[in-house]
């Protein structure tokens, strides 16, 4: 069965046909490095790590690029707030990003370009757009004219008339149209010198959208196979990338567009103002990294993902079942390349992954296979379970080490869950209270209620 991918551009499942036989070129929009990565970033990193892993399983040579935005309004603002240079801030955050990525078992991209390393290419691209009449200078800024690019809105499905109907921003700073976006921002006196570059159209810095167009072209060519990122980037970022790149080069930017779904926290949009904003590091203080990865893997990459401690606890319990199986039957060593894909379990796994990377169905195959291993005690099937799990970046740890580690890192989180359960009972939300109790029980934490309150003990 050949691979099919849901293409956001066509809104359809399409059979994957690479530009070059046996090769995949893939660009994923990365992080703006002014702060630590949050769980939304984790979702995107894991989702497209699985995509690149599966391409490799299918035998493709993958050229995977994930950029780093290291110049941006937020970065400048944060560096000034911290009293540190932009370079010091971004270097520190990039190191943290790499540490988080490694803990989540993300395979390193072939290239992780920093935007500041490609400013000269951005300048050339802007000059190209100016020469073609698709961009215009407004004071020290250079803007892209969306009205001059036919087909603007084809990725997001938004028409210019619809966009204007919802547009409430007045035309400012010489923009011909409120929807026009900046390619080059003229320098401001208040900004640090390290945020300024010299260009034919004046001292300044690139806009966000032009950064990705320049980096993807430089590293993958004017047209490549897959462009991916979070659903929040579909408009305006990816729409603007298409307009810039296709306007400059007259050909498709990417043949397949992929977008992962949003992450909510306890059924609400994640937001610092709501107090439900979690960095990867926040989560990993409580749950181990493989549990977080498995939590993401269990959902389809395009579906919304609802984060909660209860759901993480359930993910840990489910993962524990797979590791318990591996611990009970020593797996026969098996590399991914040695998998017999004619095996009924492997065949089902392959079919699921080839249907737009359907990891929920693939995970269900792992549990069916786990049940078979528990009955047969067959080391070959145990090895197959481990090898198929590795396709998803899970089940690669020592079973004994994983099972010994336990779900929760420290006592404060247990107390936090007890408090959440007490609050749920107070609000007569007994279903949630039972969920919390069960999640803790699955992790070996037994709660004991009394008139004096709730205590707990850990059992094996």
110 HSE (CA, 13 A, CB side): 14
Which pLDDT tens digit goes with each residue over 6-54? 999 999 999 999 999 999 999 999 999 999 999 999 999 999 999 999 9
Strands 254-260 and 23-28: unpaired
**Residue 409: its pLDDT value, please?**
44
Neighbours of 60 (CB within 10 A): 20
185 HSE (CA, 13 A, CB side): 17
CA–CA–CA angle 375, 341, 107 (5° rounding) = 95
Which pLDDT tens digit goes with each residue over 74-103? 999 999 999 999 999 999 999 999 999 999
**Residue 169: its pLDDT value, please?**
46
Within-domain flag for 226: yes
Query: pLDDT class for 408, splitting at 50, 70, 90?
Result: very low
Domain boundary among 201, 230, 263: 263
Within-domain flag for 6: no
Within-domain flag for 96: yes
Within-domain flag for 291: no
Let me know whether 330 and 257 are in one domain: no
Q: What are phi and psi of 392, to 5 degrees?
A: -100, 0
What CA–CA distance (Å, rounded) separates 373 from 325? 7
Let me know whether 327 and 178 are in one domain: no
Let me know whether 176 and 54 are in one domain: yes
Three-state DSSP class for 264?
A: strand
Let me know whether 369 and 385 are in one domain: yes
Domain boundary among 263, 297, 327: 263
DSSP string, 173-187: TT-SSTT-EEEEEEP
Q: Which domain holds residue 453?
A: 411-458
Let me know whether 417 and 395 are in one domain: no
Q: Write down the mean pLDDT value for the chain.
A: 91
Strands 141-144 and 135-138: antiparallel
**Residue 156: its pLDDT value, please?**
92
Q: What are phi and psi of 340, to 5 degrees?
A: -85, 100
Alpha carbon distance, N-terminus to C-terminus of the chain: 44
- The more confident residue out of 323 and 167 is 323
**Residue 164: its pLDDT value, please?**
65
Which pLDDT tens digit goes with each residue over 259-305? 999 998 888 877 766 777 889 999 998 889 999 999 999 999 999 99
* DSSP summary character for residue 238: I
**Residue 166 belongs to domain with CATH number:** 3.40.50.620
Which pLDDT tens digit goes with each residue over 220-263? 999 999 999 999 999 999 999 999 999 999 999 999 999 999 99
Please report, for the chain, how many H helices and E strands are present, in that order: 16, 15
Residue from 72, 64, 71 nearest 28 by CA: 64
Q: What are phi and psi of 339, to 5 degrees?
A: -65, 135
**Residue 387: its pLDDT value, please?**
98
Which pLDDT tens digit goes with each residue over 103-148? 999 999 999 999 999 999 999 999 999 999 999 999 999 999 999 9
Q: What are phi and psi of 274, to 5 degrees?
A: -90, -5
What CA–CA distance (Å, rounded) separates 37 from 42? 7
Whether the bond into 57 is cis, omega within 30 of 0: no
Let me know whether 190 and 126 are in one domain: yes
Three-state DSSP class for 230?
A: strand
Number of domains in the chain: 3
Specify the length of the chain in residues: 460
Neighbours of 360 (CB within 10 A): 13
Let me know whether 378 and 317 are in one domain: yes
- Beta strands (DSSP E) in 38-153 are 61-66, 135-138, 141-144
Within-domain flag for 175: yes
Q: What would the mean pLDDT of 414-422 be, rounded to a whole number?
A: 76
Let me know whether 395 and 417 are in one domain: no
Within-domain flag for 293: no
What CA–CA distance (Å, rounded) separates 260 from 301? 5
**Residue 319: its pLDDT value, please?**
95
Within-domain flag for 304: no
pLDDT exceeds 70 at position 174: yes
Within-domain flag for 3: no
Strand ordering across the sheet containing 254-260: 61-66, 23-28, 224-230, 254-260
Let me know whether 88 and 157 are in one domain: yes
Let me know whether 257 and 390 are in one domain: no
Element (DSSP H or E) covering residue 212:
helix 208-220
Residue from 184, 213, 180, 181 nearest 199 by CA: 184
* DSSP summary character for residue 169: P
């Amino acid at each position: 069965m050949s691979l099919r991918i849901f293409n956001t551009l066509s809104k359809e499942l399409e059979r994957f046909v690479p530009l070059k036989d046996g090769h995949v070129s893939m660009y994923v929009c990365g992080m703006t490095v002014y702060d630590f990565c949050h769980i939304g970033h984790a979702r995107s990193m894991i989702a497209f790590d699985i995509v690149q892993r599966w391409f490799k399983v299918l035998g493709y040579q993958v050229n995977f690029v994930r950029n780093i935005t290291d110049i941006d309004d937020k970065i400048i603002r944060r560096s000034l707030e911290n009293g540190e240079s932009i370079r010091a801030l971004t270097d520190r955050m990039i190191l943290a990003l790499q540490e988080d990525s490694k803990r989540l078992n993300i395979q390193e991209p072939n290239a992780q370009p920093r935007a500041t390393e490609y400013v000269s290419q951005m300048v050339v691209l802007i000059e190209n757009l100016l020469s073609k009449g698709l961009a215009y200078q407004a004071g020290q800024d250079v803007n892209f004219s969306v009205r001059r690019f036919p087909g603007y809105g084809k990725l997001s499905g938004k028409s210019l008339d619809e966009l204007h109907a919802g547009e409430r921003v007045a035309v400012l700073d010489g923009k011909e149209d409120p929807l026009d976006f900046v390619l080059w921002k003229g320098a401001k006196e208040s900004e640090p010198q390290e945020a300024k570059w010299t260009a034919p159209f004046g001292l300044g810095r690139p806009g966000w959208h032009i950064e990705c167009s320049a980096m993807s072209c430089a590293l993958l060519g004017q047209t490549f196979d897959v462009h991916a990122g979070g659903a929040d980037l579909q408009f305006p970022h990816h729409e603007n990338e298409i307009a810039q790149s296709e306007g400059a080069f007259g050909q498709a930017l990417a043949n397949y567009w992929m977008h992962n779904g949003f992450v909510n926290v306890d059924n609400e949009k994640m937001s610092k103002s709501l107090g439900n904003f979690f960095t990867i590091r926040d989560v990993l203080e409580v749950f181990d990294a493989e549990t977080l990865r498995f939590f993401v893997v269990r959902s389809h990459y395009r579906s919304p993902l609802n984060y909660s401690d209860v759901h993480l606890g359930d993910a840990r319990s489910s993962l524990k079942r797979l590791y318990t199986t591996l611990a009970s039957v020593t797996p026969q060593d098996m590399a991914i390349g040695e998998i017999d894909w004619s095996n009924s379990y492997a065949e089902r796994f392959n079919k699921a992954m080839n249907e737009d990377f359907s990891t929920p169905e693939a995970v269900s195959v792992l549990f069916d296979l786990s049940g078979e291993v528990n009955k047969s005690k067959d080391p070959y099937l145990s090895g197959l379970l481990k090898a198929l799990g590795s396709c998803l970046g899970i089940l690669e740890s020592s079973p004994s080490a994983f099972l010994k580690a336990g779900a929760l890192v420290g006592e404060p989180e247990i107390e936090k869950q007890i408090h959440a359960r007490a609050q749920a009972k107070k609000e007569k939300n007994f279903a949630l209270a039972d969920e919390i109790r069960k999640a803790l029980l699955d992790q070996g934490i037994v709660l004991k209620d009394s008139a004096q309150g709730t205590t707990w003990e850990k059992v094996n």
